[in-house]
Chains A and B, each alone.
Chain A
């Protein structure tokens, strides 16, 4: 039996001025699936996930996220969809004027307006315990290491228990050991909360560890779509260059 589609991207085109970034891009993401999007730097991977979350509006095409077309939603309806979609930014994007606790509380209080103080405390504690950083509650982001920042950002992403998570290069800039820990954390959280994910990555170890399916974004289109092994042994020159290292 085929799984439910949680994200459906159809004929999406996005350009900045004369430069076409996405040209007729199509992709379906299924429930509880981890899809890694590979592509060269500047190929439009981050643009793609920003279109999915509604931070950028495509020029044309349809992006259905959890049965809502995010390209035509009103601000309020878009926020409703966003409460079910987590986004882990490449640079973590933690608010540097707030403590770790305040960073985690922010999406909670914004999306769930009638949440009680007790519920906030419980969810913040649970989110930080999930990433093994319960002791950092009152610390400022500047006091944390790169790996810890990534974990806190992941905790903030997971705190609303989203159905879908978009990861923008989750292991970039981390040492191999910490990168493996983050990979494992992503997998553990996915198993625990049954989330579907799109992961943008250049880190082939991360791709091998996490991906159920790998999509290659080339020239603004979905050039290849398959499992890690099938793409690794595809024999296609353009695909192979990503697996040669």
Chain B
């Protein structure tokens, strides 16, 4: 009995090899179309999973009893610890923007409008978006890597066994912290950018601090500041939830954790631009532009 089985198996194996060889092109073609189809379905799968994960955040994470101590700790780590980076990039951004804009404005003879232009550009668009992108790079990757590492070393399971809901303790605290801290960081970053812009203006001409800020504040209204700050709330939420989602769905191994951190930054950055696009449409509809 046993030798027969082996022969039958061998024959089947040979037969499979024989028929497989003349068809590589057909296989490749099918594979190619399947990859295209799979790519599309992966996008919808991912979107569905993120939506489900966000649903879990709202159903578990925002219910009392709140992890206040952990929220404060995360606000410190996420907000306060990001301040030097946001401040430095904001300062350079204001300085460079002023220096880049100056020659064009001089050409049109409206150099005196430099503080107004820089002010509006920073407060309305560049400040919130650049701060959010820096934030996504620093915090999104850090959350993705931290939770990814906790996931693969079973620390999240250990937390659950210890009677702690990981969505409440790990996700909600981080998402609340990113949502609260990014608007604050943006306001601080914008202010430091203005300081950079002031120094930029003074490289080529002498302008008093009072005159510079009078011009800036004269041109900026609530309709510039409020929509810009409100959209950073959504940016912060996106960075937090994507970082946590990627961490929670990390695959095993160092590559898995690395991928979580990397894809958290990429996806959060794309989402920031999508939210920005929606925000500008919305403010246009409301006549705030």
- Could you list which residues of chain A lie within 8 angstroms of chain B, going by C-beta atoms? 50, 53, 55, 75, 79, 82-83, 85, 87, 89-91, 93-96, 106-107, 110-111
B189-228 CB mask vs A (1 if < 8 Å, else 0) is 0000000000000000000000000000000000000000
Within the complex, the shortest CB–CB distance from B249 to chain A, in Å, comes to 15
CB distance from A54 to the nearest CB of B (A): 8
Is the pair A93, B165 in contact by a Cβ cutoff of 8 Å? no
Q: Is the interface of B mostly helix, strand, loop or mixed?
A: helix
CA of A111 to CA of B149, assembled, Å: 25
Contacts of B158 in A (CB 8 A): 87, 89, 93-95
Residue-wise, chain B 147-170 has the 8 Å CB interface mask toward A (1 for contact) of 001100111011111111100000
Residue of B at shortest CB range from A108? B162
A87: B residues at CB distance < 8 A? 158, 161
Contact of A90 with B162 in the complex, beta carbons under 8 Å? no
Could you list some 12 contacts between A and B, CB below 8 A? A50-B157, A53-B161, A55-B160, A82-B162, A89-B158, A91-B153, A93-B153, A94-B158, A96-B149, A107-B161, A107-B162, A107-B163
The majority secondary structure among interface residues of chain A is: mixed
Chain B: interface residue total (CB-CB under 8 A)? 14
- Which chain B residue shows the least CB distance to A50? B157
Question: Which B residues lie at the A interface, using CB under 8 A?
Answer: 149-150, 153-155, 157-165
How many angstroms between the C-alpha atoms of A17 and B100 in the bound complex? 57
Minimum CB–CB distance from B57 to chain A (whole Å) comes to: 16
Give 3 closest A-B pairs by Cβ, nearest first: A93-B158, A107-B162, A93-B154
Contact A89 B157 (CB under 8 A): yes
Q: How distant is A92 from chain B, measured CB to nearest CB, in Å?
A: 8
B165 contact set on A, CB distance < 8 A: 75
Closest to B160 in A: A55
* B160 cross-chain contacts in A, Cβ below 8 A: 55
- For B149, list chain A residues within 8 Å (CB): 96
Contact across chains for A106 and B154 when beta carbons are under 8 A apart: no
Q: In angstroms, how far is the closest chain A Cβ from the Cβ of B165?
A: 7
A203 CB → nearest B CB, Å: 20
- State whether B161 touches A95 (Cβ < 8 A): no
Shortest CB-to-CB span from A127 to chain B, Å, is 14
Chain B residues near A53: list those with CB within 8 A.
Answer: 161
Complex Cα spacing A83 to B161, Å: 8
- How far is A89 from B156 in the complex, measured between Cα atoms in Å? 11
Neighbouring B residues of A90 by C-beta, 8 Å? 154
Cβ–Cβ contact A111 & B162, under 8 A = yes
Q: Which residues of the partner chain B approach A111 to less than 8 Å between Cβ atoms? A: 162-163
Chain B positions within 8 Å of A93 at CB level: 153-155, 157-158
Whether B163 and A110, one on each chain, are in contact in the complex, defined by CB atoms closer than 8 angstroms, is: yes
**Contact (Cβ within 8 A) A110 B164:** yes
Give 20 new A-B contacts, CB below 8 A, not counting A87-B161, A95-B158, A110-B162: A53-B161, A55-B157, A79-B163, A82-B163, A83-B163, A89-B154, A89-B157, A90-B154, A91-B154, A93-B153, A93-B157, A93-B158, A94-B155, A95-B155, A95-B159, A96-B155, A106-B159, A110-B164, A111-B162, A111-B163
The CA of A90 and the CA of B154, in the complex, are separated in Å by 9
Residues from chain B with a CB closer than 8 A to the CB of A50 are: 157
State how many angstroms separate the Cβ of B164 from the closest Cβ of chain A.
5
**Inside 8 A of A107's CB, which chain B residues have their CB?**
161-163
